[in-house]
A and B are shown apart, each in its own frame.
Chain A
Amino acid sequence: MAALIEIEGLSKRFGDLLAVDDVSFAVDRGDVLGFLGPNGAGKTTTMRMITGFLNHDGGRISVCGHDVTSEDIAAKTAIGYLPEGAPLYGDMTPRALLAFVASVRGMSASRARERTDWAVSRLGIESVFDQPMDTLSKGYKRRVGLAQALLHDPEVLILDEPTDGLDPNQKHEVRSLIADMAQDKAIIISTHILEEVDAVCSRAVIISRGKLVADGTPIELAARSRYHNAVTLTLRGIGALEAQSSLASISGVAEVAFSDNETGVTRCTLFPKASAAIIAEVSAHVSSVGWEVDQMWVESGRLEEVFRNITTGASAGAK
């Protein structure tokens, strides 16, 4: 069976600016795709094209097998969408908004009641359910926006910065909600927060200046970092200079970097040649010279560094 969201050769032009340039990817049931990129890279534009708010200039988008241009109503029926900034009708209450969305989506009265109860309790908006949305805080607005997107239990969820403006507890709630729903849906979330990608996404794509520049699992992407397989040590009672010459001599070590030295403690990171595993050599060396080691661990790679390298055009470090 085809993937729930299929995007092929998508492009969009605003005047002279090519906002989205030949982007292709697919998201299947069970996938949570993290959509990353700097501001203005084309994330929101792409999401708006998937949800049918913007028309695309080239390429093809299908949602649950429905082309979003020729079968837009069928595609929109399958999608739940949280637009950027969670715009809501300010003079309506969440109750009225959810009733409106339920009726537009053709839900029966009993199903509307059941789904509304679910969304309200799951997103914790009981206390503001009858307040005009103009009076709600940013966090509540975001949660009402999510409730609206989830109301019809859609197969495809498109969430543009779902945790923006939430406090850490609420962020955690929303992430666990997404994780709970992931199994039987195809989900795309855009975010600036890279820890979120590690926390909830099964796959991440990075878009930069309208082009898709990376696509992989968070682990695969992190492996593109120069930190991948690097070893970080904290040594007690050994000076940086002394450690430097000794550690650099280990076979397989390309570079040694020192960071935030407290008194009496030296912290250094050893970068391997070609991302090879060097932990065995390092630990053998350390025990042979008899240093006092407080901590030693293998880095899996830093997504943030990969993101920066890819989107600023620099080559991806050691790789």
Chain B
Amino acid sequence: MSTVMSIFRRELGGYFATPVAYVFIVIFLLLNGMFTFYMGNFYDRGQADLQPFFSWHPWLYLFLVPALGMRLWAEERRTGTLELLMTLPISVTQAVLGKFLAAWAFAAIALALTFPIWITVNYLGQPDNGLIVAGYFASLLMAGGFLAISSCISAMTKNQVIAFVVSVVVCFLFTVSGLPFVLDFFAGWAPQALVETIASFSFLGNFNDMMRGVIDLRHITYFVSLIAVWLFVNVIVVNNTKGV
């Protein structure tokens, strides 16, 4: 565990050693504000909740989280530091966990910095703060899901651009798998059970339920197992390709 923490600290420090962290946080906050106030009609709705704020998160994360995750492994491969890292007394699992947790913690920091919107909505009305906490929790879990996918894909290439593009596509598929245009494609011929399974894989479906305050064990299990599976594959990928 202390090894995971050592890697975690190095990785998280790495974000702040370069402008990456600051650029990412500023863009994340700007886009969040734009989406919430202009496209989400935060004021016009006249409701004291953060629905317009959270409902854009899947689409924001779709581009921003792969940007955060693309360097995790691809950069180490390109510069050769993977050889330095993997010849220290560290297991691949520890390295994968340390890196993932650092990126996730960074996403949590960015998300926490949106707190002014929470202050705003409390100033303007009497929102259900329990619902807002549920929304933040769901948003963070979803970011973890996106991140696990991005981390795994980053381990497959030494090119960050490829890692980014492929991660966006895979994340997109996971995001939209519950929307009608995907389900209609399967509904005509696939058994109902398969269609429901695909629908249940959707980030959007799970996230929207949680955002509405329905924090079911099912949704948490969904995101946690999604993260676990992608990180497990991540370990296998690193193990099999580290020296190539």
* Chain A residues close to B by CB (< 8 Å): 48, 51-55, 72-74, 76-77, 79, 81, 83, 85, 87-92, 96, 100-101, 103-106, 132, 148
Bound Cα distance A289, B100 (Å): 83
Which of B2, B17, B80, B89 has its CB near the most chain A CB atoms (within 10 A)? B89
A91 to B19, CA, bound (A): 11
Q: Within 8 Å of chain A (Cβ to Cβ): is B90?
A: yes
Contact between B80 and A105 (Cβ–Cβ < 8 Å)?
A: no
B residues within 8 A CB of A103? 2, 6, 9
Contact with A along B200-242 (1 / 0, CB 8 A): 0000000000000000000000000000000000000000001
B122 interfacial contact with A, CB 8 Å: no
**Lowest 4 A-B CB distances belong to which pairs?**
A87-B80, A54-B243, A76-B89, A103-B6
Given contacts A76-B89, A91-B17, contact A100 B84 (CB under 8 A): no
- Contact partner of B87 among A52, A90, A96, CB < 8 A? A52
Q: Which residues of B contact A (CB under 8 A)?
A: 2-3, 6-7, 9-10, 13-14, 17-18, 79-81, 83-84, 86-91, 242-243
CB distance from B15 to the nearest CB of A (A): 10
**Contacting residue for A48 out of B7, B18, B81, B83, CB 8 A:** B83
Say yes or no: A85 contacts B80, CB within 8 Å. Answer: yes
Q: How far is the CA of A195 from the CA of B154 in the complex (A)?
A: 43
**Chain B residues with Cβ under 8 A from A77's Cβ?**
89
Q: How far is the CA of A85 from the CA of B82 in the complex (A)?
A: 13
Q: Could you tell me the distance between the alpha carbons of A106 and B4 in the complex, rounded to whole angstroms? A: 12
How far apart are B206's CB and chain A's nearest CB, in angstroms? 36
Known contacts A53-B242, A87-B79, A104-B89; 4 additional CB pairs below 8 A are A83-B84, A89-B10, A92-B14, A104-B7
A152-B124 Cα distance, complex, nearest whole Å: 59
Contacts of A81 in B (CB 8 A): 87
**A48 in contact with B17 (CB, 8 Å):** no
If the complex has contacts A77-B89, A91-B18, are A83 and B83 also in contact, measured as CB distance less than 8 A?
Answer: yes
Closest Cβ of chain B to A233, distance in Å, is: 51
For the complex, give the distance between the alpha carbons of A81 and B88 in Å.
9
Whether the pair B243, A88 counts as a contact (CB closer than 8 A) is no
- Our pick among B81, B83, B242 for the contact of A89 (Cβ within 8 Å) is B81
Chain B interface main SS type: helix
User: Which residues in B have their C-beta under 8 angstroms from that of A91?
Assistant: 14, 17-18
- Specify the chain A residue showing the minimal Cβ separation from B91: A73
Please indicate the chain A residues that have their CB under 8 angstroms from the CB of B7 in the complex. Answer: 104
Could you name 20 residue pairs across A and B whose Cβ atoms are closer than 8 Å?
Answer: A48-B83, A53-B86, A53-B243, A54-B242, A54-B243, A76-B89, A79-B87, A81-B87, A87-B79, A88-B81, A91-B17, A92-B10, A92-B14, A92-B17, A96-B13, A100-B6, A100-B9, A103-B6, A104-B89, A106-B2
- CB <8 Å contact, B87 and A89: no
Contacts of A52 in B (CB 8 A): 86-87
Q: In the complex, A243 Cα to B83 Cα: how many Å?
A: 59
A73-B83 CB under 8 A given contacts A92-B17, A104-B6? no
Flag if A88 contacts B84 (CB, 8 Å). yes
**Nearest chain A CB to B72's CB is how many angstroms away?**
13
Question: What is the bound-complex CA distance between A92 and B85, given in angstroms?
Answer: 14
Nearest B-chain residue to A96, judged by Cβ: B13
Q: When the two chains form their complex, are residues A53 and B83 in contact, meaning their CB atoms are under 8 A apart?
A: yes
Q: Which of A55, A87, A96, A105 has the most CB of B within 10 A?
A: A87
The complex places the Cα of A86 from the Cα of B13 at a distance, in Å, of 22
